[in-house]
Each structure stands twice: as structure tokens, then as C-alpha cells.
Structure 1
Amino acid sequence: MALRETDPARIGGYPVEDRLGSGGMGVVYLARSASGRRLAVKVVHGQYADDPEFRARFRREVAAARQVSGAFTAPVVDADADAASPWMATLHIPGEDLGTHVRREGPLPPDRLLELAAGLTEALRDIHRVGVVHRDLKPANVMLAEDGPRVIDFGVSRAAEALAGDALTQTGRVMGTPPYMSPEQLTSPRDVGPASDIFSLGSVLTYAATGRGPFDSPSPYETATGVVESTPELADVPAELRPFVTQCLAKHPKERPTPDELLALLRGEPLPPTPPRAAVAPVPVRKRRRRTRLVIVATGVLLAGVASGLALWLTGAEPEAGDLPRNWRAWEAKDTRDRGEAGGPFGGCVAAGSGLFCAGDDVKTARFSLATGKFAWSKPIDRTQGAWGDMEGRVIGVSGGRVFTYRNEQVDREDEAVPYYAIQALDVGTGKELWTTATQHGEGAEPPVPDAEHGGAVWTDAGVLTALGANGNDYALLRSDTGKPRWREKLPSVHCRVRGAEGHGYLLCADSARSTRVSRLDLTSGRPDWTVTVPHGGLELLGQASGRLLLVHDEVDESPRRISVLDLAARRVRTLPLKPWSADATPTVTGDTLYFTYENGDVRAVDPRTGRQRWSVNSVVESPGPPLASGSHVYLASVSGRLAALDRRTGEEKWSLPARGRGGMTVASDSGAELTLVGDALYVPYGLRSVYSVDVRNP
């Protein structure tokens, strides 16, 4: 599709090469990264870009999409919710979409159908495990890549839904594509959950097997009615696939199998008995109201034209009233595993699915319910504690039903205890160890954590990137399912560190006191995509903002301290002109802003592109931890649980909550922990292995 005169030449620094399509939400362009990778860059239409609530929700949806594994999807590469026209870039998947292929070549043969069923089921399993619901699975959103099917365009954004009111009745804003929608999407859209995607999977596979959907009709109205009321037409579906499709197309969500059950069915294993029919409540819909609603939906489909081309494409998590996790209530909870008063506070938490995973002093990982705070399990950081080593646990990442953390133990060598570090994958539900991969060991070994002085480990879009070898002289990308390296390379020097930002992996190598080499890694091979030499030594990666890497001197007593800015598109480096800051100031990048926090509660907000100060205030939070920015606020908390919400534009305090006590702690000099925001639910670690949750709209 040819570019138009009004199309941009670059988006976020990425050169635009072609126009791939357009839909109700925006335009999709083909672009290319600095390393030559082809990207699908999706730019939001102006009517959405002008709404601040949309931008806030867009940011959340991008964050959700980043959690999804790239094995069967198109992973998010970059995004900017604060650009004049918000955009998101994913890897471009070469190949045909399923709809185009079937129209051109006809239905798939049985062997390819079974491969498609397995690939799409595994994709949905990965999507659902991180708490995301696709909500628009259809042939146009399934790419037939050379290495198997890929699911693209993570459904309908809640950002658009919030602006649309009753989205099903808005012309051009139909939340899904009726031939592949589930009954609950048409009758009770607020009840849509993971089972909706399973119904859509059955419809997509029917189309792939027969060239038509299970409820196809010349009339969109009759098609939508058939989804809710009619028996699917499956006579032409191959016999070996028909039981699979039949199970998917059950009318009630509770009667549909999970992805794991479907994979078992493909392996020839029987599904567990379903509950008695009387125990499953029917979908509560009155016939007259339902028919009226379906007429409106069908009219919207005709006007919006969503059955062809690219439809609504933004990432979408499962909808909940008020953007809170299902059944959420305000709560306080503590890791109650019996170990006396040993240890200290959590350093931070990571949310995935229905769980909150926290780690800190003496705690490898502890799981709480996002909704209720119910404590499920925790693991100690060390089984045989010695007088050495790092006793602070870290959650490296969560994906595919696994939480990735690290283990430190001691081993006896020549009558001397030495550290032995490893990365572990734990089952998110039970905490059971799934695999363990040794990283560094022996005298001078460093733990596999994001800020290790030598080596390190970070979560990327492709898995765990870590240093390996007794002395950490190699680096590798670990498979999330087995822990075995996908590839392994030698570090260029002993002064190199593994780092990460926005899902990408980097090497920072200190050549001398005067320069640092920054290399962006190709995560498919481990080799650098590019390398830039920054004319300052001893740099540490702060993070990424507005298409730029921010790097700071890691020597806090250096005066003056500098921040170097590396433009990722142009790969140019400059020093950010900043006012001097004291040794007790901590720089943090969150959202599109660089913040400096001070022990006395002062906070400075700085534009990372220009170095200009946006605002400076004194907050009520003593020794605040890293600030967390949402679309409208910046949140700060202390180790005592004191919390403040500042206006993101002006720094004005909007509300605050008092300290919650020290939760059994005898020392309160630490700074606060990292905060976690899931929709409107904010999770605040404090005190002794304690967390509380608050609705930021109604604190």
C-alpha cells in the first residue's frame, strides 16, 4: 500500500517505508529499526490522541503487551504514549495472514490444521498467563510465519472502550469482529474473560478448515444471532479436529476448556469431566433485549467495515469495573512464613496474572493475591546462609506461568565457604522449583541481578539475559521453559555488564576511566546490533525515555555527576545539561521523565530531552523510593508506608496517606521500595515483608 503525502517520514526515530493498512483506531506503517529489523508501527488517530485518559490507558495496555512471550506473538519493540500521536511498534511478521491465505489457497490440509491448533493454543496460554485477554482473535490477526503461526494485534483496547461509552453501539468502535466473537462479547461485554478467546479459537480453526465460519450468514445480524443461539456448522471440519473445535464453541464460558486442557486433547489425553449441566448458570439474556442489541452490533459492523483489513489493534487486558483486578478490595498483608524477625522490607513487587510477586531481604519470592492480598507462599533467598553474599532477593521477571528469580547458596571449597549463584524458575501458583541454571560461583562471584557490578541478569522480551560462567565471563539468553541457553557468547572484556531497558538487552563495557561502550544486542543471536562509545567512563544505565537511553556515573561521590543521553535512532551521544545534584539524590527514569528524589522528601522532575526542570517540590515522604508515574500522577512511598500522589504536570500534591508503622522493623533508615500499579490498584511494599494496596481514584 503506497505511502501518502500526509504520512510521516519517521515515527519515533524509525524511518517509515510503507503503509500496511488502517482501521478504526489508527494507521499501521512498515518501518525499520537502526539495526535493520522491520517493524509494524501503529499510530493512533487524532481523536484519541487528544484525550488524556486514553493516553493513560494506552500506556497500561502497552505495559501489559510487553509481558507476553514472543514465541507465538509479535512482541512489542518500542512505544511512546506521550508523543503528539501515540504509537506502538511491534516486530513485523513476514508472511500471509490466515484469512488471505485461505481465500487464495483454500482450506488448510489436516496436518497443517493440527499445527495451527497447537500453535494458537500455546499463544493463548502465554497471553492468558500474564493476565491479558486478546478479545479480537480472527483470521486477519493470525500470521502464517515460516516458523509457525503468530498472533498479532492484541485485541480491543480498554483505552478506546473508555471513550466509547457502550462500545458495542458506537459506529466504528465495534469491540471485536462478530463472526469470531464469543456469545458473552455480544450479550454481556463486561463479563468477557480468557474463555472468550477460546470460543474465537474454535471459530478461527473452523474457518481454516472449511473456508467459512461456524455461524456464517449473508446477514451480519443473522451471524451475530447465530453466535449466541445457533449450533455451529462443523460437518466439513476434519474428524480429528472436530472434538477440539466443539469443545471451544461451548456457549457458556465455564464449559470451555483452558489452553492446557486443549493441548492435552491434541496429545490424545481425555479432558477432565465437565460439571453437571445444572451446576452451570446460563448466560442471563432476555430474548427481546438481546435481539435489539444484536441489530445495533450488526449495523455497527457494516458501517465500521471491521470484517476486512486491519481492525482495532491496541493491546487489551481483561476488562474490570473501575480498572481494578476482579474482586479487588483494599488490603494489607504480610509474608507470614515463620522465620522470626529475620530479614527486612521487600525491595519491590511484580504483578502477573492474578498474583503479586515480591522479593527483598531474605526473601527470594513471595506471592500474594492481587485482589485480596491473600498470602500463598514464599521462598527464602538462601538455604544455607553464610557470612558472605547478597541476601536480598529479586524478581527478574514473570512469564508463561513462571516467576524468574535467583538463588544464592554456599559451597565448601578447601575448608572455606564460597558463594554459588543460580537463576531459578518457580511455578507461579505453587512456588515449586521448575528449573535451576547456575550462573557465577566462587570467590568474587556476583549475583544475577539487574544492577550487579560485574555480569548481571535482566528480563527481556525474549527471556532472561544473564552472565554465565564461574567468573561471569560469558553471557547467554536462557529459555523460559527449560533454563537452557538459546545461545552463549563471550563477554568482550571483564569490565562488561549485562543491562536491560524496555525489553531490550545491552552490554555496557568500561574501556577506561574516560569511555564506555554501549552495545544493543540482537536477542536472536546474542551478537551486537550496534555499538556506540560514550565519552565518559563508569556509566550505569538508568533507563529509556522518549527514544533515548539515559546513563549516569555510578560513582556517587564524583563531582559533578553527569548524565549522558544516547539517541537510539540517530545513535548520537550528548551530556544532558543539568543543575548539580547532591550525593543523597537518586535519579530515576519513569514514563517520559527523569526524577531526582532526596532523603528530605524533595523531588525534581526533569525533561530527559533538554535537561530543563519541569518542577521541584518538597513532598511529605521521607527517604522516598523510586517514583512511579501514571498518566496523571507520580507516586512516592517511604519504607514506613507513607504514600503521596503528585500531579505529574505540576508536582502539586493531590493526596497522601500516613505511615503504616514499621511492621516489626527496628531500622527505618532505608528508602522506600519500588511501587506497582495495576489499573487503578497501587501496591506499596513497606515495613517487614509487608504490602498494602489502595485504589488511587479513592484513596
Structure 2
Amino acid sequence: MALRESDPAEVGGYRIEDRLGSGGMGVVYLARSASGRRLALKVVHAQYADDDEFRIRFRREVAAARRVSGAFTAPVVDADADAPRPWMATLYIPGEDLGTHVRRHGPLPPAKLRALAAGLSEALRDIHRAGMVHRDLKPANVMLAEDGPRVIDFGISRATEFAASDVLTQTGRVMGTPPYMSPEQFSSPQDVGPAADIFSLGSVVAYAATGHGPFDSPSPYETAMRVVDGTPELDGVPDELLPFVRLCLEKHAKSRPTPDELLALLRDGRLPEPIPADEDTRPVHVPKRRKRLWPAAIALGAALLAGVFVATVAVTPEAAAPADLPSGWQAWQKKSRDPSVDKEPVGPSNPFNRCAATGRSLVCAGDDIMATRFALADGRNTWARPIDETADDLGGSSGGTVIAARSGRVYVYGADDRPIGGDGLSTTRYTVQALDAESGKVIWKTVTGEGDAATEPNSDRGASIALPDGVIATYGDESKYYALLGADDGRVRWKRPLPDPENQPCLLRSAARHAYLVCAVFTGTDITSTSISQLDTATGKPSWTVKVKGDVDLAGQTDGRLVLARALGTHRTLTLINAKSHVLTTVKLSESQPEESSVHLVRGTLYFTLPSGSVRAVDPSTGRRLWKTDSTVEQSGPPVASATRLYLGSPSGRVAAIDVRTGRVQATRAGRDDGGDLDLLTTGITAAPVLVGDALYVPYGVRSVYTVDVRHL
């Protein structure tokens, strides 16, 4: 890159030879020392040079960077925090950066990927031991030098964040590169610690393996949304590195491994032995992140391939990890207000069928409630909306569900019963709505169908799904179409006909940020096969279709493969479809599972839950049963899991916490008797508990929720 007239001839006695690049923090030059050694010399922009606080922090960070081993950082040769424009010189690392290399030559082969993962883990281990955090690990900061990859560009990013003159900081904007930032860098940048670097490491390795980041999007806003709430796109990551990447990309900082644990995983194919729970089955409360339990289903046969790396760092001492609870959290129990026009109960009362958290809100739906909001911290029930908002409410609906909740919005559906004529007849108009989770305000509302032949856009029944692009729902008065309603305004982006609504009923499903159409194929009165089609979200057209024998449904995706289980009958096999090659594999279960089992794919493990409270964990890739236990939770809803525990809740509010590694019931909490008159014989879907850090929110009874700190179950 050619020098400009405004560029200096020398800085600090070092002759400037070329301009290597520039960014928001400063300009980087290729310089030469008196002995002929080539240096990378970064000169800070003038806007930071005028800030005294910046200079103090810059000076501290230069000193801290010198403490890191020369094997893992570009050694600091010289620096001057008191110069008119502060500067720092490090050894120059020739070669392409990782981003440029992948764009020119494609993803790295498996052997080089393992070396990259091991080398970065070693680099972060050394950086964190020196009391520093990188905060901006990304492909552009990883150089592929002749003697191995190294990380560059350090000592400035943290200092500039605290510069009083920095307009970005003053306006509350976060700093970093969105596709490679951690969730906490968006939600609570003041609390960012070493675990943020681990998340970035997972994103960098995924990029090197696939040529794209796991949360890439054309929109920075949508990228941030995917980082905080979305599922990473890991298709193309080699199977042996998937456990490594997935552990790095855990949403909660305390659930991520340390560099030492990652190196053990690469070397031995497993993480260090966990600390066992006490014999009286109470969970171990461990305040430090490095002492947590880990799932055992990690198979990684990669040998440790050491690499020499240099790290870009900024000072952020690690503090003891506090309880991971929403700000201001306290234990609470609340019941939603009744928002319906007709206050007289119609039919039996039911619990919520789904709740979801976003921002500071827990939003629930079901039993005639379209949506109701509880504050995560104290349970204040600030608003509630009925499923039917017309003034002439005819009652009789027990519907309502949360289609999705993300980035402060919640997607729900409405079912307005409207009188026609004067004979007491009515028709129902269905809508999908986007609400502001904090205020309950309707952001947009789109009619999807009206009349007896229209389909209720209920996600629980496969009639709608939510993706980052918006909501895909069955559409039209005769339910002959499916359509994408844009996330921003609810307008129909495209509309496509269903294959054969009368003779080939279809369900809308989603997995790993992709939409699928699952259609039953009849021969006479029997379902003889099922077609699975991935939908192109840009057009709605099927990208590919695979036909599977029998009646199956999509449980989700893990390790790059869709997992399908029988919709009806005894479970004896699973069907796996490679999401990239579309190759179909049948996996025999080591133990048949009863017809009454509900099937749930959670964090890569398949769980079969029975009304009696029995739970069986199965490895979907092999069909092998991992464990079987009696959860003591009857008629449980879908389970939710952290990295170490599986949680189940019953309609009465009973909860069990199960070790995902062994199946051992570690803790239980009895049901509650303050949830109203619940008719358990007619109870349908029970909402899954919602886990926000260490806070578990348990829907139960009639429109009721309570919360508990899972460390003290």
C-alpha cells in the first residue's frame, strides 16, 4: 500500500517504508529499525491522542502486552504513550491474514484447522494468564506466517473504548467486529471477560472451516441478533472439530471452556474430569467458571498440533464469576391478568403452552391469551392481550402460543371470532402479529386467512415458524399456500402453493436457521412416506427434497444432519439426512422407545420423555441409549438444557434437574398449589421451562409462572 504525502518519514527513530493498512484506531506502517529489522508500527489517530485517560490506559496496556510470552504475541519492540500521537512497534509478521487466505484459496483442510484451533487455544491461554483479554479476535487479525499462524493488532482496542472523546462510546455503541463478537459484548460490554475470546475463537475456526462466519448476515443488526439469540450455522465444519466449536459458541460465558480445557479436548478427545456432585444429590455450587460440569458426549480424536501464535490483547482482569442472573432478579411467583372481554371461563383452564425470554421480558401464551409479559427481574405482569381482541368476543378458544421471541420482539398469532348474519354464526380471522415485548405494542399485524377452511397459524401445530427473515405461515382462506411475512413490517415477501393440501398435508418446521416443509404422502388411508424439503427463504421454493419411508417428523439438526423420528407408533429407528449432501441414513435404536414417548432434540442429544416421568437420552448419531432415569416429573413439557443439566417441568410446577452426562436426578422442586384450578385430565401442551443464565422460569397451573435460581434448587 503506497505511502501518502501526509504520512511521516519516521516515527520514534524508525524509518517508515510502507503503509500496511488503517482502521478506526490508527494507521499501521511497515518500518525498519537501525539494525534492519522490519517492524509493524501503529500510530494512534489524533482524536485519541488528545485524551489523557486514553494515554494512561495505553501505557498500561503496552506494559501488560510485554508480559505475554513472545511465542504467543508479536513482541513489543518499542512504544511511546507520551508522543504527540502515541505509537507502538512490534515485530512484523509477513504473510496473508486468515481472512484474505480463505477468500483467495478457500477453507483450510482438516489438518491445518486442527493446528489453527490448537495454536489459538495456546495463545489465549497465555494471554489470559497475563490478565488480558483480546476482545477482537477475527480472521483479519490472524496472520498465516511461514513458521505458523499468529495473531496481530493489540494494545489499543480496550484503551479507545474508555476514551472520553470517543463518540462511539458516548452514544452507547459497542466496539468490535459483529460476526466475531460474543453475546455479552452486545448485551453487557462492561462485563466482558476472557470467555468472550473463547466465543470469538469458535467463530474464527468455523470461518476457517467453511469460508463464512457462523452468524454472518448482510445486516450488522441481524448479525448481532444472531450472535445473541440465533443458532450458529456450522455446516461444513469437520465432524471431529464440531464439539470444539460448539463449546466455544455457548451463549452464556460461564458455559464456555477455558483454553486449557480446549487443549485437553484436542489432545485427548475429552474435557478434564468433572467435579462430582455431593452424595446427597444436591448440586455442587461452583462460583468459578473453570469448575463446571461438562457433557460426556464429546468424541474428538484430533491430536494436539501445536502452533506458534501472537495475540492482540487489551487489559481486562478476570473477576470471580458472579451469579448469572438477570439484573435485579429476585425469586417470584405471578399469575397473568385475564385480558379477555368475556370474563366467564369457557371450558377447563389450561397452563401456558409456551413462554420465551427476550431483553428484560418473559412472554407467555396459551389458554386464550395471545401474549402476556412478566418482567424477568420481579415478575411484574405489565400487559396481556387476548387471543381474540374483538369487542364481540364469542369465547371458546384455548389457543395462543409464542411463535418466537428475539431482539425485544415477540411473534404471536391472533384468532378473532367475528359474527356473520344474525343467527349466532361466526367466522374466524387469523393473524400473525409482531409485538414489542416490553410494552405489548403491536408493531405489525398481518391477516393470514379467514373462514372455516383457513388454518390457525399455530407454531405448535406446524402451521408457522420464525426465522431471522420473518415468519413463514400457512396462508390464504383455504390454506393452499405458505408465505413469508417480513420481520420488519409483516408484508408478504413471497407466497408459494402447498403441494396438495387435501391429500398431502404438510407441516412447517425449522432447524439451524433453515425452513423445511414436511409433507405426508398417502397410499389409500395409510401414510407410506414423508417428503422433507428445504425452502429457499429468498423465494420460498424448495432447494432440495428427500423422501423418507413411513410417517416421520423433523426433530431438529445436529452435527450437520437433520434428525427425524416416527410421528406415530413405537420408535425403533431414526432417520438422518446430511443437510449438505442430502444423503439419507437409517440409525437403529439400541432400545425401542414406547409409542407414547415425546421426542425432543436438545443440544445434540435426543430425549424421549414419557407421561410417567421416565426420560431416556439417546445419541442420535449411533442410536445408542446414553442413560435412562425417572425424573419424578409426570406429564412434563419439553425439556430445556444448560451445558450440564436437563430441566423438566410439570403442569403443577414440579421441576427436576438431571445431569446430562449420567442421567442422575440432581435436584427436584415440588409442585405448587397456588396455580388455580387446573384440570390435569384435559391439559394439553405444557410449556417448557425457560432458562436465562442461572434463572429458571417455570410455567404452571392456570396462567402462572414462578422463577428459581438453579444453583439453589
Fold shared by both chains (TM-score > 0.5): yes
Distance 2:677 2:646 in 1: 27
- Does residue 92 of the first structure (1) align with residue 99 of the second (2)? no
Task: Give the secondary structure class of the aligned counterpart of 2:577.
Answer: strand
From the superposition, tell whether residues 441 and 452 of structure 1 become closer, same or farther in structure 2 (CA, over 3 Å): farther
Aligned to 2:689: 675
- Does residue 664 of the first structure (1) align with residue 676 of the second (2)? yes
Unaligned runs of 5+ in 2: 1-99, 125-135, 141-150, 152-179, 188-197, 231-247, 261-308
Q: Is the 8 A contact 1:515 1:533 kept in 2?
A: yes
Q: How far apart are 1:403 and its partner, in Å?
A: 1.5
- Does residue 450 of the first structure (1) align with residue 462 of the second (2)? no
TM-score, normalised on structure 2? 0.56
Distance 1:438 1:450 in 2: 16
Match of 1:651 among 642, 663, 681: 663
Matches within 5 A, 1:265-664: 304-306=311-313, 321-337=322-338, 339=343, 343-383=349-389, 384-386=392-394, 391-413=398-420, 416-452=425-461, 456-494=463-501, 495-512=505-522, 513-536=527-550, 538-555=551-568, 558-559=569-570, 563-578=574-589, 579-661=591-673, 663-664=675-676
CA displacement 1:145-182 (0-9 Å, x = unmatched): xxxxxxxx9999835998599xxxxxxxxxxxxxxxxx
Counting matched residue pairs gives 458
Q: How far apart are 1:63 and its partner, in Å?
A: 11
From the superposition, tell whether residues 618 and 160 of structure 1 become closer, same or farther in structure 2 (CA, over 3 Å): closer
Q: Is the 8 A contact 1:548 1:567 kept in 2?
A: yes
Task: Give the secondary structure class of the aligned counterpart of 1:336.
Answer: coil
Distance 1:445 1:597 in 2: 32
Matches within 5 A, 1:188-227: none
Q: Is the 8 A contact 1:129 1:401 kept in 2?
A: no
Task: Give the secondary structure class of the aligned counterpart of 2:323.
Answer: helix
Task: Out of 467-476 and 606-615, give the one that drifted further.
Answer: 467-476
CA displacement 1:368-392 (0-9 Å, x = unmatched): 111111111111112354476x522
CA displacement 1:225-265 (0-9 Å, x = unmatched): xxxxxxxxxxxxxxxxxxxxxxxxxxxxxxxxxxxxxxxxx
Q: Which amino acid aligns with 2:253?
A: R
Q: How far apart are 1:563 and its partner, in Å?
A: 3.5
Aligned to 1:168: none
Q: How far apart are 1:305 and its partner, in Å?
A: 2.4
From the superposition, tell whether residues 603 and 576 of structure 1 become closer, same or farther in structure 2 (CA, over 3 Å): same
Q: How far apart are 1:550 and its partner, in Å?
A: 2.1
TM-score, normalised on structure 1? 0.57
Q: Is the 8 A contact 2:228 2:251 kept in 1?
A: no
Q: How far apart are 1:451 and its partner, in Å?
A: 3.7
Aligned to 2:253: 158
Q: Which amino acid aligns with 2:642?
A: S
Q: Is the 8 A contact 1:445 1:471 kept in 2?
A: yes
From the superposition, tell whether residues 348 and 93 of structure 1 become closer, same or farther in structure 2 (CA, over 3 Å): closer
Task: Out of 643-652 and 379-388, give the one that drifted further.
Answer: 379-388
Q: How far apart are 1:493 and its partner, in Å?
A: 2.6
Task: Give the secondary structure class of the aligned counterpart of 1:92.
Answer: coil
From the superposition, tell whether residues 693 and 63 of structure 1 become closer, same or farther in structure 2 (CA, over 3 Å): farther
Distance 1:534 1:340 in 2: 47
From the superposition, tell whether residues 609 and 691 of structure 1 become closer, same or farther in structure 2 (CA, over 3 Å): same
Q: Is the 8 A contact 2:694 2:710 kept in 1?
A: yes
Task: Give the secondary structure class of the aligned counterpart of 2:487.
Answer: coil
Q: Which amino acid aligns with 1:92?
A: H
CA displacement 1:84-137 (0-9 Å, x = unmatched): x9958999389x99xxxxxxxxxxxxxxxxxx9xx87x679x7599799xxxxx
Q: Which amino acid aligns with 1:448?
A: P
- Does residue 698 of the first structure (1) align with residue 708 of the second (2)? no
Q: How far apart are 1:666 and its partner, in Å?
A: 3.4
Matches within 5 A, 1:58-73: none
Task: Give the secondary structure class of the aligned counterpart of 2:711.
Answer: coil
State the structure with more CA Rg: 2
From the superposition, tell whether residues 668 and 662 of structure 1 become closer, same or farther in structure 2 (CA, over 3 Å): farther
Q: Which amino acid aligns with 1:470?
A: D
From the superposition, tell whether residues 386 and 664 of structure 1 become closer, same or farther in structure 2 (CA, over 3 Å): same
Q: How far apart are 1:561 and its partner, in Å?
A: 6.4
Q: How far apart are 1:652 and its partner, in Å?
A: 0.5
Distance 2:668 2:416 in 1: 41
Q: Which amino acid aligns with 2:691?
A: L
From the superposition, tell whether residues 28 and 698 of structure 1 become closer, same or farther in structure 2 (CA, over 3 Å): same
From the superposition, tell whether residues 647 and 560 of structure 1 become closer, same or farther in structure 2 (CA, over 3 Å): closer
Distance 1:328 1:533 in 2: 49
CA displacement 1:249-302 (0-9 Å, x = unmatched): xxxxxxxxxxxxxxxxxxxxxxxxxxxxxxxxxxxxxxxxxxxxxxxxxxxxx9
Q: Which amino acid aligns with 1:636?
A: L
From the superposition, tell whether residues 62 and 448 of structure 1 become closer, same or farther in structure 2 (CA, over 3 Å): farther
Task: Give the secondary structure class of the aligned counterpart of 2:461.
Answer: coil
Q: Which amino acid aligns with 2:372?
A: A
Q: Is the 8 A contact 2:565 2:571 kept in 1?
A: no
CA displacement 1:507-540 (0-9 Å, x = unmatched): 112233222221112212222222212122x332
CA displacement 1:433-477 (0-9 Å, x = unmatched): 222111122213221122436xx1101122111121112222222
Q: How far apart are 1:28 and its partner, in Å?
A: 7.2
CA displacement 1:287-334 (0-9 Å, x = unmatched): xxxxxxxxxxxxxxx973259xxx99xxxxxx9832111111111111
From the superposition, tell whether residues 486 and 673 of structure 1 become closer, same or farther in structure 2 (CA, over 3 Å): same
Q: Which amino acid aligns with 1:418?
A: T
Task: Give the secondary structure class of the aligned counterpart of 1:321.
Answer: coil
Task: Give the secondary structure class of the aligned counterpart of 1:697.
Answer: helix
Percent identity between the aligned chains? Answer: 35
Task: Give the secondary structure class of the aligned counterpart of 1:584.
Answer: coil
Distance 2:537 2:506 in 1: 17
Q: Is the 8 A contact 2:574 2:623 kept in 1?
A: no
Matches within 5 A, 1:116-131: 127=225
Unaligned runs of 5+ in 1: 31-44, 46-60, 69-78, 98-115, 133-152, 166-301, 313-318
Q: Is the 8 A contact 2:181 2:199 kept in 1?
A: no
Distance 1:487 1:621 in 2: 43
CA displacement 1:311-367 (0-9 Å, x = unmatched): 99xxxxxx9832111111111111023646664211121110111111111111110
CA displacement 1:178-228 (0-9 Å, x = unmatched): xxxxxxxxxxxxxxxxxxxxxxxxxxxxxxxxxxxxxxxxxxxxxxxxxxx
Q: Which amino acid aligns with 2:439?
A: T
Q: Which amino acid aligns with 1:542?
A: A
Q: Which amino acid aligns with 1:497?
A: L
From the superposition, tell whether residues 400 and 365 of structure 1 become closer, same or farther in structure 2 (CA, over 3 Å): same
Distance 1:403 1:91 in 2: 32
Q: How far apart are 1:576 and its partner, in Å?
A: 3.0
Q: How far apart are 1:8 and its partner, in Å?
A: 6.2
Aligned to 1:169: none
Q: Is the 8 A contact 1:640 1:662 kept in 2?
A: no
From the superposition, tell whether residues 157 and 622 of structure 1 become closer, same or farther in structure 2 (CA, over 3 Å): closer
